């Protein structure tokens, strides 16, 4: 069976789709699994051995998208997050079985609509995604390995990074940028305060990472840090290149954006910050890996300050076990 799985939005959202793609392939290895993804997730999707084909949704043209889908000869589709354009393209392509959550006006173009009420957050986003597979295969196992993402050349990539940046000890990394759809974060100065706690531990190396579009943030951090032993790293390669690097880190500290999901998916332990709301909570956006430490940032100033002090102590405690 040729099965299309649609998750053509941001990095973190796509990573919540990976268990779905995995269980569909492993339910029956004869299944041909096709992923419809946004351009930024192409290299990551192509690196997964449980994805057989990748369709890149790179334009707003509905007919162009419908043609790509039609060419793949899809027997069934599972749309994990839908909009009218994506739904209509599948209808035009005449996919026989079209599965999606029963939300928004887009649901009229699907012939198997599943009520999930994700806004109630009774489970995580990736778990809601997995549940949709049972509409197609009622007896499917929803189990998947952790870490799910494992790449060839991880060790070589990490050794090259260590050689370039003079890394000789276990790495604790901080990623101060927002990105994605995260709703809460600490200021750069607050991140620097956390970095100083890690820097004081002599048995670890400390790295701050920045995305390719975070040049200003990088320069501000460089100025605030001054001369010290913290390494500043700007990501310049693909998502897969960064994933290989993350797989070598011992601890990754960031807000709840795509980089957090990526770190967890490759097996890196995480300290992650979420907005103290149901929509943006760790209950909804927990990642697909293990070893996760979640902290909800209150909206009020007093609660925020108290949480920051709590995180500083938790970080100190965790660093002691790493050293």
Q: What is the pLDDT of residues 305-321, one digit of tens each?
A: 999 999 999 999 999 99
Q: Between residues 290 and 258, which one has the greater pLDDT?
A: 258
pLDDT band at residue 290 using 50, 70 and 90 as cut-offs? confident
Q: What is residue 178's predicted lDDT score, i.e. its pLDDT?
A: 73
For residues 47-62, give the mean pLDDT: 95
Please state which architecture CATH assigns to domain 155-322.
Answer: 3-Layer(aba) Sandwich (3.40)
Q: What is residue 184's predicted lDDT score, i.e. its pLDDT?
A: 80
Domain boundaries in the chain? 2-136, 155-322
For residues 60-67, give the mean pLDDT: 94
Q: What is residue 304's predicted lDDT score, i.e. its pLDDT?
A: 95
In the sheet that 76-79 helps form, which strands lie side by side, from edge to edge?
53-56, 32-37, 2-6, 76-79, 97-101, 112-114
Q: What is residue 323's predicted lDDT score, i.e. its pLDDT?
A: 66
Q: What is residue 151's predicted lDDT score, i.e. its pLDDT?
A: 87
Structure pTM?
0.94
For residues 182-198, give the mean pLDDT: 91
**DSSP state, residue 106:** G
pLDDT band at residue 21 using 50, 70 and 90 as cut-offs? very high
For residues 95-112, give the mean pLDDT: 93
Q: Between residues 105 and 95, which one has the greater pLDDT?
A: 95
Q: What is the pLDDT of residues 138-164, one digit of tens each?
A: 999 999 999 999 988 778 889 999 999
Q: How big is the CA angle at 127 (ends 123 and 132), to the nearest 5 degrees? A: 120
User: What one-character-per-residue DSSP string does 8-59 give?
Assistant: -S-HHHHHTTHHHHHHHHHH-TTSEEEEEE-GGGHHHHHT-TT--EEEE--S
What CATH number is given for 2-136 in this structure? Answer: 3.40.50.2000
Q: What is residue 182's predicted lDDT score, i.e. its pLDDT?
A: 54
pLDDT band at residue 31 using 50, 70 and 90 as cut-offs? very high
For residues 189-193, give the mean pLDDT: 97
179 has pLDDT over 70: no
Q: Do domains 2-136 and 155-322 have the same CATH topology?
A: yes
Q: What is the pLDDT of residues 207-243, one digit of tens each?
A: 999 998 899 999 999 999 988 899 999 998 899 999 9
Please report, rounded to a whole number, the percentage of residues in the chain having pLDDT higher than 70: 98
Q: What is residue 183's predicted lDDT score, i.e. its pLDDT?
A: 62
The overall average pLDDT reported for the chain is 94
180 has pLDDT over 80: no
Residues 180-203: b if buried by 16+ CB within 10 A, e if exposed: bebbbbbebeebbebbebbbebee
- The DSSP bridge partners found for residue 252 are 173, 270
For residues 289-310, give the mean pLDDT: 95
């Amino acid at each position: 069976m040729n099965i299309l799985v649609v998750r053509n939005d941001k990095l973190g959202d796509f990573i919540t789709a990976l268990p779905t793609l995995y269980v569909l392939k492993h339910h029956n290895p004869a299944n041909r699994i096709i992923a419809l993804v946004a351009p930024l997730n192409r290299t990551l999707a192509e690196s997964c051995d449980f994805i057989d084909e990748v369709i890149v949704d790179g334009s707003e043209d509905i007919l162009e998208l419908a043609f790509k889908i039609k060419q793949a000869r899809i027997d069934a589709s599972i749309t994990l997050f839908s909009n009218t354009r994506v739904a209509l393209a599948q209808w035009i392509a005449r996919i026989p079985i079209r599965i999606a959550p029963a939300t928004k006006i887009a649901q009229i173009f699907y012939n198997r609509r599943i009520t999930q009420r994700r806004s109630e957050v009774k489970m995580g986003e990736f778990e809601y995604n997995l549940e949709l597979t049972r509409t197609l295969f009622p007896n499917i196992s929803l189990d998947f390995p952790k870490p799910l993402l494992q790449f060839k050349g991880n060790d070589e990539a990490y050794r090259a990074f260590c050689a370039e940046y003079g890394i000789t000890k276990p790495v604790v990394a901080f990623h101060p940028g927002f990105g994605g759809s995260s709703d809460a974060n600490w200021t750069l100065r607050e991140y620097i305060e956390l970095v100083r706690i890690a820097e004081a531990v002599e048995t670890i190396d400390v790295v701050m990472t920045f995305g390719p579009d975070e040049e200003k943030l990088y320069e501000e951090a460089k100025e605030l840090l001054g001369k010290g032993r913290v390494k500043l790293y700007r990501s310049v390669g693909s998502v897969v290149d960064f994933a290989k690097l993350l797989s070598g880190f011992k601890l990754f500290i960031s807000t709840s954006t795509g980089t957090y999901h990526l770190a967890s998916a490759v097996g890196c332990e995480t300290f992650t910050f979420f907005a103290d709301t149901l929509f943006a909570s760790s209950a909804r956006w927990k990642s697909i890996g293990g070893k996760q430490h979640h902290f909800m940032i209150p909206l009020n100033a007093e609660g925020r300050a108290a949480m920051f002090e709590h995180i500083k102590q938790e970080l100190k405690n965790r660093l002691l076990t790493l050293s």
